[in-house]
Structure 1
Amino acid sequence: MNLERSLRLLAGMMILFSLALAHWVSQRWLWLTAFVGLNLLQSAFTNWCPAMSILRSLGLKDACPAPEKKRLLP
């Protein structure tokens, strides 16, 4: 599984988990849902997410690696 799919899986699981906890335990768990949503929103603009750093450190690879920058010869 690549990094992007793992990140979507993690975000979806966190949202469903927090909604279940809000339903059966306490509505304060909805703050976790809001945090995940805000994190997804900011990552859309910055292309950085703390979970991506963690997943990369666990060894997951990007689906399409960024193209290498061409070096200009002198």
Structure 2
Amino acid sequence: MIGDNTILDPIRKALGTVENHRSRILERWTSTHSNARLEGFNGLFQAARARARGYRNTTTFATMIYLIAAPLGDLFKST
């Protein structure tokens, strides 16, 4: 029988998870929120990690993030 087949246990587990979280899954699809800002921050962190390679403390890493993310070029533009 197909219903008693143990090979389908992972599929049963996945379907159970979807059924248990169905309301939250549907809310997510109707929500207007996104994780775009977090993805943007992640890009900054990855760029800082690439540039700050070899530094050993977190202060230098945080400074590199500030230098990458800060609009320093706007400070020097003539008005």
TM superposition score normalised by structure 1: 0.31
- Larger Cα-atom Rg: 2
Greater RCO between the two (CA within 8 Å, min separation 6)? 1
